[in-house]
Amino acid sequence: MARQLKVVGIFIVFTLSATLLTAQPKDAGNPTYIKAGKFFDSENGKILANYTIKVENNKITEVGAGISIPDSAKIIDLSDYTVMPGLIDGHTHLMSLETITKDQYITDQILFEGDALRVLRGAKRAKSFLENGITTVRDLGDSGPFLDVALRNAINEGTTVGPRMFVSGPIICSEGGQVVGLLKSKRGVIENDYTIVRSVDDAINAVREHVNYGADIIKICANNTPNNTSLTIDEMQAIVKMAHRYNKKVTAHATDDLAVWEAVTAGVDAIEHGYQIADSTLALMAAKGVALVPTDISEPLFYKYMDIMKFEGDKEPVLENYKKGMRDRLQRAIKAKVTILTGSDNYINFEMPQGEAAKNILIAYEEEGMEPLDILRSSTYLSARFMNMADKIGVLKKGAYADIIAVKGDVENDFSNTMFNLVFVMKNGEIYVEKQ
C-alpha cells in the first residue's frame, strides 16, 4: 500500500508540474486578436506586414495575414508597431547583483544576505526582465543552494511575477570556484554556490544531484576565471555523458582558447563568454554544433561602469581595445557559422533595473557588427531551439505560448532606440506592459 501511495503521489506531482508550466491566464476561454503592423518571423529572420495573431488561453491558435476577426472579439491593435516573440536572455544571474566598487561581493552575499532575502531580491529582478520584454531566461548559477529552482517554481505557480526560467543550480567546477584568494580553511563558504568536483566520480554524482534537485541545464566552469584552475577533460566528459543521459544540455563557462577547446572536445553543447577563441576552435565548434553565448558589454553600459567607478583616465582607448577584441571574435564566429545565442551575464549593479541593463546585450552585438534581424533571431528562435523549445517559445506560430512583445520604431534601421521603446509585453497570455 505504501508503494502504491508513493506512485500515486509521484503521478500527482508530475501532473501539477505540467499544469504549472502551462498556467492559464485570468481571462481563459475568450480569444484575443492581436493586429501586428510589422511581424517578426523569427524562424526565417524576416519582417512581414499586417499579420494577425489569435490567442486563446495561454497559447497562439492562429497566425496569418488574412485571419477573419469576429465583430465582438477582443482586439489589441498593434498596427503601428513591430510585434515579435518575447526575448530570451540565455545567461542571467537573478540571485546576484554585484556592487561595482566593492571587492569580493560574492562572499559577502553568501555570508550576510541569506537565502530568503536573496530569493526575494531575485524575484524583483526577475520582474524587471519581464517588464523589459525578456520573457524567458536561462539562469546560470550564483544562486545559492538551488534558490533558482525555488524562484522558477514560484513564477510557474503564480506566486510571483517573472520570465520563464530554465535553471542550472550551483555551477559545477574545480577547487576554489570563482572566488579569488579564498583560504583553504574557508572553502566551505562557497559550497552552496558552487558544486566542487575533485574527481570523475564527483563529476558524475554532481550531475545526479542537480537533476534530482530540479536543474533544467547543467552549467560548468571549464576554467575558473578569475581563478586559474580548471576541470579536466575526463571530468567534463563524465558530466556531459551523465547530463545527456537525463536529456540535459551542458553549457560551459570558458574564457580562453584552451578552455573552450577542452570543453568542446569533452562534448558540451554551448560555450559561455569565449572571449579568446582561435579560428581552429571555432571551426571545431561549428562542426560539432556547439553554440556560442557572447556576454559582451555595450558602450552605454561601459561608460556607466566607468562613471560609477569614478575612472579618471581616458575611457576611449580602453573601450576601443575591449570592443576591438569582442568585435573580432564575434565576426570570426559568424564567419565560421557558429550558432550565436544571446546572453547578458548581467550581475553588476548599473543603478538601473537589472532587466533594462541586461537588454543592452542586444546593443553590444549591433556595435560589433551583427545585423539587427540576426540579433533578434538569436534572441528568440535560435535560443529556443537550443533549449528544445522551438515550437513553444521564441516563435509566433500556432501552438506556441503567447509570449509576445511589441516595439515602436524601425527595428532594421534604428535598432538600439527601437528595442528600448517597448510598448507591449504579454507572457503566457497575460499582459504585463501596455503603453499604447
Residue-range domains of the chain with CATH: 27-85+396-434 (2.30.40.10), 87-358 (3.20.20.140)
For residue 244, give every residue at least 6 positions away whose Cβ sits within 8 Å of its Cβ, in sequence order, or none.
250, 267
> Using one digit for the tens of pLDDT, what is the confidence trace for 106-141?
666 666 778 999 999 999 999 999 999 999 999 999
d(CA 84, CA 403): 9
Rounded Cα distance, 336 and 288, in Å? 12
What is the pLDDT at residue 80? 97
Give the residue with greater pLDDT, 360 vs 8.
Answer: 360
The H-or-E segment that residue 253 falls in is: strand 250-254
Q: What does the pLDDT read at residue 113?
A: 76
Question: Which segments of 275-407 are extended strands (E)?
Answer: 291-293, 404-407
Calpha distance 399→403 (Å, rounded): 12
| Predicted confidence (pLDDT) at residue 179 exceeds the cutoff of 80 | no
Asked if residue 36 lies in contact with residue 85, where contact means CB atoms within 8 angstroms, the answer is no
Q: Is 90 exceeded by the pLDDT of residue 152?
A: yes
Residue 101 has pLDDT above 90, yes or no: no
- Bridge partner residues of 34 (DSSP): 53, 76
What's the pLDDT band for 219 if we cut at 50, 70, 90? very high
223, 230 Cβ separation under 8 angstroms:
yes
Q: Are 34 and 78 in contact (CB under 8 A)?
A: yes
Distances (CA, A) of 260 to 14, 88, 103, 108: 37, 23, 28, 30
